[in-house]
Amino acid sequence: MSFVESVSEPADLRKLTLAECEVYAKELREELVRTVSRTGGHLGPNLGVVELTFALHRVFDSPKDTLLFDVGHQSYVHKYVTGRGDRFDTLRQDGGLSGYPSRAESPHDVLENSHASTSLSWADGIAKAHQLKGEDDRWVVAVIGDGALTGGVAWEALNTIAADDSHPPRKLVVVINDNGRSYSPTVGGLAAHLDSMRASNSYESLLSWGKERLHGAGAPGRAAYAALHGMKRGLKDMASDSRTGVFDDLGLKYLGPVDGHDLEALERALQLAKDYEQGPVIVHALTQKGYGYGPAVADEADQFHAVGVIDPLTGQAAPRAAESWTSVFSKAIAAIADRREDVVGITAAMLHPVGLDRFQAAHPDRVFDVGIAEQHAVASAAGLSYGGLHPVVCLYATFMNRAFDQMLMDVALHRQGVTFVLDRAGVTGPDGPSHHGIWDMALLQVVPGLRLAAPRDAVRLVEELEEAVEVSDAPTVVRFSRGDVGEEIAALRRTEDGADVLAEVPEGLGADVLVVSVGALADRALAVRRALAEAGVGACVVDPRWVLPVPESVQAMAQQHRLAAVIEDGVRTGGVGSRLRQELRADDSPVGVLELGVPDRFLPQGTRETVLDGAGLSVTAMVEQILARLPRRG
């Protein structure tokens, strides 16, 4: 029996010798490549944390001790160690194993939120709760990457953690999983600070010295305290103060750097941190994303951060059958940038995923990666706009939530011309609840002066992006879906204010229903019209293109029908349908509005199609709802 099969809980792992753990690590990396190559997922981050995860579970006692994984995409090894290895063939599938920690799966999982930089705040809160309840034998360990440390909320938490002067001090360890990357290479001052330790000429001797010091550490208590401070003195002797000063200046005890692929060194470092009884400790572990898998290590762009289905031997993915939404945008923004020198791009550690790489390659001085810091990205964009440029801020739609205040108070209040491009908008699929981009339209419709476009196909994406960057006195938003862009859906005609009529009421039927189609759901909207026609109900389909505020022509068309049904892949509470209802009510219109959007609950993982169907947006379900709500004639 392999170790992958025999280790089903942390206690099993703790029984293994270091030599056996080395065998287990090799087996587990092979197993990760085998399973993730079939399902897709975050391969590179997990290959890089095998030894680190082993060390955490061998030194600490989960779930009595709380292990928090920031972002959580690096928790696959943790899932194997805690008994879920037999479910990895279902990873990220309908009803299968989550790609992130999940409380429903295991008591060893705590932090499900896959938005970066929040683990330290959670750790601070949990440690305080343990202290107030007198649970002084429980540890809290937060594992945070160097990429997530670029997020401002992480430093807010560190500021609080460092100020802890309670007695006895809270039992909290912060592990920095430093692989020099977030999605792409980590940027910014902190990255340079950490990288100076890696890049220094004395690094190898420093690491060797650190191992010797750790190997020679004695018993807990004073010996551990002396060893910890000896480690710090050694670091200061061998590197400039600027290389370690940031943590020292905060008042946090720092231990490292430690070779993140040396299990023995990691265990000793973590044990030393655990034995230190005078406050929180930072353990700095150096790892390599994709470690042990040649294709991942050789991929300089993202080291297989996230993959689809791939050949496990070569790492090659099957060629795409169609172009992606992101690819269409990437070409379009690069073309705009070639024509307009005032257009600049901003990304929050997602240069390649959001498609700004083509722009950056052509105009490197006009694309800014600010790290995982969406709030800063948006406030900085306001400043760029004030300075006479037109910023295009590119984010995943789910991450727009994090910068709402800056959108409202820095961009909109000051009437700055900033374009926001929201990738992965709506239901996204296998990444689960916190990655569905379903809140943006409801959140953003309350922003005064904001205009939001939802293109239905590639032609409209290019068209609406061109229109968006022409607006110089208000925020504009262009949102689009994840995956392939699909076939072009041509309009029959366009209204004076820019709405596209996709299909008129079939001949011989009455003007019963106006189907308002938002974004990439146009194919379903047209299918709904056909099904209604078979039931003897006449429907017209209109795509507003710019869905917020709702075009006046769409409001006028709604009043010519007995019912307006708005199909959108955002939450229906406060969505486009809700906005249309408000506008019609303001005009004292008797026309009812049926909001066919996503229910206000967290949606599960699965394919985009199955999640949409499960949310009540299948063609059959929508037709049934329309027929049930359609007023009787006369």
Instruction: Clarify whether residues 503 and 456 are in a common domain.
Output: no
Active-site residue 222, yes or no? no
Instruction: Clarify whether residues 471 and 499 are in a common domain.
Output: no
- For the segment 46-72, the average pLDDT, to the nearest whole number, is 96
Active-site position among 402, 456, 482, 572 = 402
Instruction: Clarify whether residues 515 and 447 are in a common domain.
Output: no
Instruction: Clarify whether residues 20 and 150 are in a common domain.
Output: yes
In-domain check, residue 464: yes
Query: pLDDT-derived band of residue 298, with 50, 70 and 90 as boundaries?
Result: confident
Query: pLDDT-derived band of residue 207, with 50, 70 and 90 as boundaries?
Result: very low
Active-site position among 31, 51, 267, 374 = 374
**DSSP secondary structure letter of residue 310:** B
Instruction: Clarify whether residues 475 and 501 are in a common domain.
Output: no
Position 384 scores a pLDDT of: 98
Higher-confidence residue of 487 and 322: namely 487
Indicate yes or no: pTM above 0.85: yes
Domain count, the chain: 3
Higher-confidence residue of 392 and 251: namely 392
Higher-confidence residue of 297 and 385: namely 385
- For the segment 43-56, the average pLDDT, to the nearest whole number, is 95
Instruction: Clarify whether residues 274 and 394 are in a common domain.
Output: no
Query: pLDDT-derived band of residue 200, with 50, 70 and 90 as boundaries?
Result: very low
- For the segment 242-256, the average pLDDT, to the nearest whole number, is 70
In-domain check, residue 152: yes
In-domain check, residue 81: yes
Annotated binding site: 73, 114-116, 146-148, 179, 293, 374
- For the segment 2-25, the average pLDDT, to the nearest whole number, is 96
Higher-confidence residue of 219 and 581: namely 581
Long-range contacts of 355-364 (CB under 8 A, 24+ apart): 355/326, 355/327, 355/329, 355/330, 355/394, 355/423, 356/330, 356/394, 357/330, 358/330, 358/331, 358/333, 358/334, 359/330, 359/333, 359/334, 362/334, 362/337, 362/338, 363/337
In the predicted model, is pLDDT for residue 219 greater than 50? no
Higher-confidence residue of 366 and 252: namely 366
Domain end call among 422, 452, 479? 479
Instruction: Clarify whether residues 208 and 271 are in a common domain.
Output: yes
Domain end call among 434, 454, 479? 479
Instruction: Clarify whether residues 277 and 414 are in a common domain.
Output: no
Position 188 scores a pLDDT of: 59
Position 194 scores a pLDDT of: 60
Position 212 scores a pLDDT of: 45
Active-site position among 289, 460, 581, 608 = 289
In-domain check, residue 319: no
How far is Cα 16 from Cα 28, in angstroms, rounded to an integer?
Answer: 14
In-domain check, residue 275: yes
The CATH number of the domain holding residue 39 is 3.40.50.970
In-domain check, residue 421: yes
How far is Cα 16 from Cα 6, in angstroms, rounded to an integer?
Answer: 11
Percent of the chain clearing pLDDT 90 (strictly above): 78
Domain end call among 279, 295, 311? 295
In-domain check, residue 53: yes
Annotated binding site for thiamine diphosphate: 73, 114-116, 147-148, 179, 293, 374
The CATH number of the domain holding residue 625 is 3.40.50.920
Active-site residue 402, yes or no? yes
Position 285 scores a pLDDT of: 95
Instruction: Clarify whether residues 81 and 201 are in a common domain.
Output: yes
Q: Which of 122-136, 257-271, 293-307, 612-626 has the lowest mean pLDDT?
A: 293-307
In-domain check, residue 300: no
Query: pLDDT-derived band of residue 237, with 50, 70 and 90 as boundaries?
Result: very low
Annotated binding site for Mg(2+): 146, 179
Position 543 scores a pLDDT of: 98
pLDDT digits (tens, 9 = 90+) for 21-38: 999 999 999 999 999 999
Query: pLDDT-derived band of residue 318, with 50, 70 and 90 as boundaries?
Result: confident
Instruction: Clarify whether residues 97 and 149 are in a common domain.
Output: yes
pLDDT digits (tens, 9 = 90+) for 517-554: 999 999 999 999 999 999 999 999 999 999 999 999 99
- Host domain of residue 474: 325-479
Query: pLDDT-derived band of residue 182, with 50, 70 and 90 as boundaries?
Result: low
DSSP 417-456: --EEEEES-B---TT-GGG-B-SHHHHHTTSTT-EEE--S
pLDDT digits (tens, 9 = 90+) for 366-417: 999 999 999 999 999 999 999 999 999 999 999 999 999 999 999 999 999 9
Active-site residue 236, yes or no? no
Instruction: Clarify whether residues 332 and 223 are in a common domain.
Output: no
Instruction: Clarify whether residues 449 and 561 are in a common domain.
Output: no
Q: By three-state DSSP, how is residue 459 classified?
A: helix
